[in-house]
Chain A
């Protein structure tokens, strides 16, 4: 059995404790094992398999005995970048995700500010705001698809014939629907950020006679900066990874203007049976996701050593 030798917190306050090396050795690191095993099983092993598959020529002909599929090194990556719609899909995905993310900021923030003050029916409004977020993506997709059909309600209201689900408009359809379904996340985080600003700060601002805009600009926003930065990064990653919504809205093969990365990866795997190529695309998109993710990790300072 491990013997507990870690000093109680009170003792540590007065005494810096044993040197770091000894302290590390005596930590009950084995208690990390369950989490560690899960990490390996759920994240590292699949990641390893995906990396392996991306180096194989795995398709419908080699699927049955996948370990015997020919090893082709980085050919899948080369093909993905040079001979598929991947660069275009990255462009579409990043572009629309960024647009949606930027657009959710004012909407979510305004909603959070509007429901900050107590008023009658506030709970109801707050719950209603969350509806788009809690609806399953395929429901959102199906409903919007029905609305935007050529002979659907949207065109009857406008009194004009627009094509929303294909062609250049479809890009804006994707932006609007994704915005509709994702702004409550920003609202949620902004609302929680607002609640963490203490009463005294508000009082002090009031005593100084700050107008609402000055209060917003110099008191509230600085407090919210951290939480909003996080919200934006999470929202961006959500949008980038959104598969169900574009899939249900536009179907496959996807119209050129909305051929997003997750749908392209899906089509390569499950329609064209190019599992190796698709895995290479997935790995490349993982790299893509890692860029904002590293910003995110920096923002939450998970990588900063505790003091």
Chain B
């Protein structure tokens, strides 16, 4: 607690010092960056740490050859780390020039007003908006005129399934409705194997399920600053998601303690037939696991629970619009250099090589087109095109937290083998209130 006070206060102090330090701006239209350094904050890649370090060097060399400026990468370990870094930088007006942000955090970042809103001129310097896949721009800003996020990578969510287990059970392909998936999962649950691997204790996974099932049933959760968590469709989503473990028993009871990585590991050990809500980055782990060569990806169901076809007002979202956006800090003294670096990072060549090294899909239209022919990627690219953006509101992070909280507080009762609807409703009502309070304050 004291530490928090300390963090807040030191950053406030820094802010006081930082504001006075505005140095005269050196205009570099010709982009002579000699002697200058750009700082970039990206997430530490725990799957490919060595490749990431090599990539840092490569980008630095390339950019230095182009402009003479150096690029220094800093990494953060978790989204919470990044938040702290952003908050201190925003307060102090100094820090990284460019940040890589998760898509769902972009609305909150936009709300701080600390990042560069891209004007036509800026987009031109980036090679034009047309250079990007249109869908990936869906969460760059509240509308096309106010965008801060430049799409960098795309990580749509899909579902992995164990081809051997499905074949043995006589199932030819994963269902396209959540009810159908549950039926298949029941068939596939026997002995030590379970139908589904789900990370109930993950800090982020649960809300993505609830969101997907809700929007598919026509409830966007947030619209015009109104939260609609208390809608029956969301209750149904929670009942379905929690019911897999509590009443349907198609998930390993130990999953109440799993984070995403543990669900992947369990599927990798061949102990689960379906692994919903993973991105293509899981491929690395799975290709080294016991199910290597015995699994495939498919899009997740788009027909909401309790239905046999998508309702008229439902959105057939296969995934949240997921990936990373790059944002340029307003306080940067090297705006043009920063834009030039973003242009380099989103160029077709870089995007292609980034995909080959890290398995993250390009946002660059040219690079993405090249990959479309790869059959292994088909479901993932399919999901990317059917992904839907989460509500663009500065309070979205709080709504997310409220959604996850319902799951966290529901977990202790799951082992009783039934879902208490009244209790669940009370928890959802708390979530609705928290979400609405946050939305009421949003600007």
Q: Contact residues of A with B, CB < 8 Å? A: 45-47, 49-50, 53, 59-61, 63-64, 66, 149-152, 161, 163, 165-168, 241, 243, 251-256, 261-262, 265-267, 269-273, 275, 278-279, 282, 285
* B4 close to A151 (CB less than 8 A): no
* A161 close to B1 (CB less than 8 A): no
The reply on B181 being an interface residue by CB < 8 A is: no
Q: Mark B79-118 against chain A: 1 for CB-CB distance below 8 A, else 0.
A: 0100110010011000000000000000010011110000
For the complex, what is the distance from the CA of A282 to the CA of B9, rounded to whole Å? 12
Name the residue of chain B whose CB is nearest to the CB of A242. Answer: B1
* B6 close to A46 (CB less than 8 A): yes
> What are 8 A-B contacts defined by CB distance under 8 Å?
A47-B5, A163-B412, A241-B2, A251-B201, A255-B408, A265-B1, A266-B1, A278-B8
For the complex, what is the distance from the CA of A96 to the CA of B271, rounded to whole Å? 39
> Could you say which residues of chain A place their CB within 8 Å of the CB of B83?
270-271
The reply on B357 being an interface residue by CB < 8 A is: no
* A161 close to B87 (CB less than 8 A): no
Residues of B in contact, count (CB < 8 Å): 47
The reply on B257 being an interface residue by CB < 8 A is: yes
Q: A269's contact among B8, B108, B394, by CB below 8 Å, is which? A: B8
> Could you say which residues of chain A place their CB within 8 Å of the CB of B394?
60-61
For the complex, what is the distance from the CA of A64 to the CA of B94, rounded to whole Å? 11
Q: A262's contact among B1, B203, B409, by CB below 8 Å, is which? A: B1
B398 to chain A minimum Cβ distance, whole angstroms, is 5
* A253 close to B257 (CB less than 8 A): no
The reply on B405 being an interface residue by CB < 8 A is: yes
> Could you say which residues of chain B place their CB within 8 Å of the CB of A46?
5-6, 9-10, 13
> Could you say which residues of chain A place their CB within 8 Å of the CB of B9?
45-47, 49-50
* A167 close to B412 (CB less than 8 A): yes
A262 with B4: in contact, given A60-B394, A61-B111 (CB under 8 Å)?
yes
* B4 close to A282 (CB less than 8 A): yes
* B257 close to A243 (CB less than 8 A): no
The reply on B44 being an interface residue by CB < 8 A is: no
Q: When A and B form their complex, what is the total count of cross-chain residue pairs whose Cβ atoms lie within 8 Å?
A: 128
For the complex, what is the distance from the CA of A263 to the CA of B443, rounded to whole Å? 27
The reply on B441 being an interface residue by CB < 8 A is: yes
> Could you say which residues of chain A place their CB within 8 Å of the CB of B12?
49, 53, 66
* B408 close to A166 (CB less than 8 A): yes
Name the residue of chain B whose CB is nearest to the CB of A247. Answer: B80
A2 to chain B minimum Cβ distance, whole angstroms, is 33
A285 to chain B minimum Cβ distance, whole angstroms, is 6
> Could you say which residues of chain B place their CB within 8 Å of the CB of A275?
8
> Could you say which residues of chain B place their CB within 8 Å of the CB of A241?
1-2
Task: List the 6 closest A-B pairs by CB distance, nearest first.
Answer: A167-B412, A46-B9, A151-B254, A150-B254, A262-B1, A253-B405
* B13 close to A261 (CB less than 8 A): no
A63 with B91: in contact, given A165-B257, A253-B404 (CB under 8 Å)?
yes
For the complex, what is the distance from the CA of A251 to the CA of B259, rounded to whole Å? 11
The reply on B411 being an interface residue by CB < 8 A is: yes
The reply on B424 being an interface residue by CB < 8 A is: no
> Could you say which residues of chain A place their CB within 8 Å of the CB of B255?
150
For the complex, what is the distance from the CA of A252 to the CA of B397, rounded to whole Å? 13
Q: A252's contact among B203, B257, B412, by CB below 8 Å, is which? A: B203
> Could you say which residues of chain A place their CB within 8 Å of the CB of B411?
163, 166-167, 255
> Could you say which residues of chain B place their CB within 8 Å of the CB of A272?
397-398, 401, 438
Since A50-B8, A241-B2 are in contact, a sample of 19 more A-B pairs with Cβ atoms closer than 8 Å, ordered by chain A residue number, is: A49-B13, A61-B394, A61-B441, A63-B91, A150-B254, A150-B257, A161-B253, A166-B412, A167-B412, A243-B1, A251-B201, A252-B401, A253-B405, A253-B409, A265-B4, A270-B80, A270-B84, A271-B397, A271-B401
